[in-house]
Amino acid sequence: MMDERPLFSESAESVTAQGPRVPLIEVPTWKLMIVDDQEDVHTMTRLVLDDFTFEGRGLTFLSAFSGQEAKERIMEHPDTAVVLLDVVMEHSRAGLDVARFIRNDASNRLTRIILRTGQPGQAPERTVVTELDINDYKQKTELTVQKLFTTVTTAIRSYRDLLSIEEGRRSMHLLALSVAHQVRNRTVAIAGFANLLLKKAHDSDAVGKYIHTILDESVRLEEMVCAVNDYAGIEAPQMEQVNLATLLDQARKSLEQRAEKMGKTLDWKAELQSLHITADFKQLRQLIEALLFNAVDFSSEHHAIVRVMSLSDGAGCSVVVEDEGIGIPDEDLPFVFDPFFTRKPNGSGMGLSIVRKVADEHQWDVRVVNKPEGGVRVELLMPTHCVVQEFPELEEGGAADG
């Protein structure tokens, strides 16, 4: 029969947990962190889950009695599988702050977070599960022994699956870096020998032409390897508060250099709100520059018009990049994010693939559409990742003016 005894109740008898059993053979365990300011909650949880096993592995219990202590413990134990997290501790939203810290400051996407609250009015379920990246929400009054067992089992199974996916991604990351390294070594060798041949081929125009082709293709191959390296190097983002106007100002300088190198004049049009975005600065700049470079590359031969907008509706924000170039054929739109797909004569086809990967790592969305009047519009949608804030130092000149 299922055990439907209430786990936490005022009439529960006092129980003393037995000491931990020492296994004959040391085996890995799943780490479970209990975050609550009540000692009896820790004691009861340990008692109920003392004989818990999943796939032959038991639990190692970690305890924290405040939000601040929980933050310290999660940094000490980033491989924690599950956090049972109280909401109200040293203040009414301490647990919610811990959840944000785990996902944003600690950049931990794997640990499963289960909120347990005895005061649901302090953290309404619908609001919490919408705004925070948590995995379950339980009221202590409804949490029975069987429900706790089921909840922890489900969370650990999810953690195991995510861990497997992450390990697979790391393996692919290492494989991509290894392949890029090997290709680069061969490219350097090809270019080196081609240069030696070129020095000895002064009396043959045909041979010189072929050698120049080898050198040009070596350069293209090197650029492709660099793009693959950039793609493979995108890992879990290190979150911080990013001033979007400052970042766009830096990106504009890079864009001006690219336009000048291509012999184009740049017409930069910006309509920016003063926004702070929670993001990895380096990755966000990588994404923005890829969009801006595409806008210039596909513009007219001598003149590039690039329009950038940042918008916020209170629930989130978006960055929009528009150009007035040749647009994208409708039959190509489904494939623009695929690696190595490009219509540029000398492109690597990795720019929008990098954009998509950075967006996915941040749990953002990217949309690419053709404008009716010509050109392309790219929208980067960032729900609940930004705040509107005034920056007086940008009111005169700089990126905020456009």
In the chain, where the domains are located: 30-167, 237-401
State how far the Cα of 238 lies from the Cα of 199, in Å rounded to an integer. 49
Q: What percent of the chain has pLDDT over 90?
A: 40
Q: How confident is the model at residue 200 (pLDDT cuts 50, 70, 90)?
A: low
Mean pLDDT taken over the chain? 82
Among 74-78, 195-199, 355-359, 398-402, the minimum mean pLDDT is found in 398-402
Q: Kindly tell me if the per-residue pLDDT of 385 is higher than 80.
A: no
The reported pLDDT for the residue numbered 25 is 46
Q: Kindly tell me if the per-residue pLDDT of 399 is higher than 80.
A: no
Rounded mean pLDDT of 221-241? 79
The reported pLDDT for the residue numbered 5 is 59
Contact status, residue 132 vs residue 100, Cβ threshold 8 Å: yes
Q: What percent of the chain has pLDDT over 70?
A: 80
Among 90-104, 113-127, 204-218, 273-287, the minimum mean pLDDT is found in 204-218
Q: How confident is the model at residue 12 (pLDDT cuts 50, 70, 90)?
A: very low
- Give the β-pairing of 386-388 and 275-279: antiparallel
Distance in angstroms between the alpha carbons of the first and the last residue of the chain: 68
Overall fold of domain 237-401: Heat Shock Protein 90 (3.30.565)
Which amino acid would we find at residue 374?
G
Contact status, residue 85 vs residue 103, Cβ threshold 8 Å: no
Q: Kindly tell me if the per-residue pLDDT of 214 is higher than 60.
A: yes
Q: Which CATH homologous superfamily contains domain 30-167?
A: Response regulator (3.40.50.2300)
More confident residue, 175 or 246: 246
Rounded mean pLDDT of 305-320? 86
Predicted structure pTM score? 0.59
Q: Kindly tell me if the per-residue pLDDT of 202 is higher than 70.
A: no
Instruction: Kindly tell me the burial class for residue 159, based on how many C-beta atoms sit within 10 Å of its own C-beta (0-12, 13-18, 19 or more).
Output: buried
State how far the Cα of 239 lies from the Cα of 107, in Å rounded to an integer. 7
Q: How confident is the model at residue 114 (pLDDT cuts 50, 70, 90)?
A: very high
Contact status, residue 296 vs residue 255, Cβ threshold 8 Å: yes
- Cβ atoms within 10 Å of 370's Cβ, excluding its own: 15
Give buried/exposed letters for 282-309 (b at 16+ CB in 10 A, else e).
ebbbbbbbbbbbbbbbbbeeeebbbbbb
State how far the Cα of 76 lies from the Cα of 70, in Å rounded to an integer. 10
